[in-house]
Amino acid sequence: MVTPAPLTAGGRMPERYRSIIDVHVILERGTEILLLERQGTGYCDGMLHLPSGHLEEGEPVTVGAAREAREEVGIRIDPEDLRPATVVHHRQRPDLARVGLFFATDRWGGEPYNAEPHKCGKLLWCDPVVLPSNTIDYPAAGIRAYLAGTSITINGW
**CA dist list (Å): 54 to 4, 68, 139, 142:** 33, 8, 14, 16
Is 59 within the bounds of a domain? Answer: yes
Phi-psi region at 7: left, alpha or beta (left = phi > 0; alpha = psi -120 to 50)? beta
Query: Measured between alpha carbons, how far is 24 from 64 in angstroms, rounded to an integer?
Result: 9
Q: What is the pLDDT of residues 6-48, one digit of tens each?
A: 676 777 877 888 889 999 999 999 999 999 999 999 999 999 9
**pLDDT value for 3:** 62
Residue 122 is assigned to a structural domain of this protein: yes
pLDDT of residue 89: 97
- Read off the pLDDT of residues 100-150 as tens digits, 9 standing for 90 and up: 999 999 999 999 999 999 999 999 999 999 999 999 999 999 999 999 999
Residue 3 located in a structural domain:
no
Domain of residue 106, residue span: 22-155
Neighbours of 95 (CB within 10 A): 6
What pLDDT is recorded for position 4?
Answer: 63
Does residue 11 lie in a domain region? no
The pLDDT, as a whole number, for residue 14 is 78
CATH code of residue 69: 3.90.79.10
Domain membership flag for residue 40: yes
Q: Is 16 part of any domain?
A: no
**Total domain count for the chain?**
1
Residue 1: per-residue pLDDT: 61
Q: How far apart are CA 32 and CA 124, in angstroms?
A: 9
